[in-house]
């Protein structure tokens, strides 16, 4: 059960994604969470650094889908300059939005990656479908209250994950 909550990797920021390594591993589709993965939940638009990073990913041939539990208005507005696929009100960790995202991108569970800041939505949701997941450190310590409640248990899971990972190395 606990393994279902462990990501494949844990990185400080999406900008630490190793594009060459992803290409070598035949990754074709990237599913990104928005809130606290790409920007703080209360920031409406991506900054120039993020826009450029997404442009670079697209140039390299990656398909991208934003999958967020947030509202349509939030997701559409955020995507104005990124212009990628989106799914709002995704009900993560339920499987259906991840499946829909892969349909939109034309990818499958073996060549798709889920990148997000939450164990119980992004990581668990991806793992349930057998999609590889990458956990990122939240970009802000501001959270919606419902998320804030989960962070305590999340920290515990992350500690267990890190302990296991350090044993492996």
The binding site for Mg ion (CB under 5 A) comprises 33, 35-36, 117-118
- The distance of closest approach from Cβ of residue 168 to Mg ion in the complex, given in angstroms and rounded to an integer, is 27
Residue 23's CB is within 10 A of a number of other CB atoms, namely: 13
- CB nearer to Mg ion: give 6 or 117: 117
Question: Any bridge partners for residue 86, and if so which?
Answer: 66
- The distance of closest approach from Cβ of residue 87 to Mg ion in the complex, given in angstroms and rounded to an integer, is 14
- The distance of closest approach from Cβ of residue 158 to Mg ion in the complex, given in angstroms and rounded to an integer, is 14
Burial of 2 (0-12, 13-18, 19+ CB in 10 A): exposed
Question: Any bridge partners for residue 134, and if so which?
Answer: 9, 115
- CB nearer to Mg ion: give 111 or 126: 126
Closest CA to 117 of 35, 25, 30: 35
- CB nearer to Mg ion: give 36 or 97: 36
**Distance separating alpha carbons of residues 162 and 122, to the nearest angstrom:** 18
- CB nearer to Mg ion: give 117 or 154: 117
Rg of the chain (C-alpha set) = 15
- The distance of closest approach from Cβ of residue 33 to Mg ion in the complex, given in angstroms and rounded to an integer, is 4
């Amino acid at each position: 059960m606990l393994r279902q909550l462990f990501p494949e990797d844990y990185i400080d920021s999406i900008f630490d994604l190793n594009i060459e390594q992803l290409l070598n591993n035949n990754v074709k589709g990237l599913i990104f969470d928005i809130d606290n993965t790409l920007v703080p939940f209360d920031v409406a638009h991506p900054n120039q650094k993020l826009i450029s990073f997404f442009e670079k990913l697209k140039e390299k041939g990656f398909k991208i889908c934003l999958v967020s539990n947030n509202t349509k208005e939030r997701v559409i507005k955020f995507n104005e300059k990124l212009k990628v696929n989106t799914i709002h009100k995704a009900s993560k960790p339920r499987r259906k939005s991840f499946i829909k995202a892969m349909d939109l991108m034309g990818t499958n569970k073996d060549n798709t990656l889920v990148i997000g800041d939450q164990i119980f939505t992004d990581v668990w949701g991806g793992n349930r479908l057998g999609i590889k997941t990458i956990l990122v450190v939240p970009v802000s310590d501001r959270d919606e209250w419902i998320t804030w409640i989960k962070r305590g248990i999340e920290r515990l899971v992350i500690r267990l994950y890190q302990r296991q990972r350090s044993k492996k190395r």
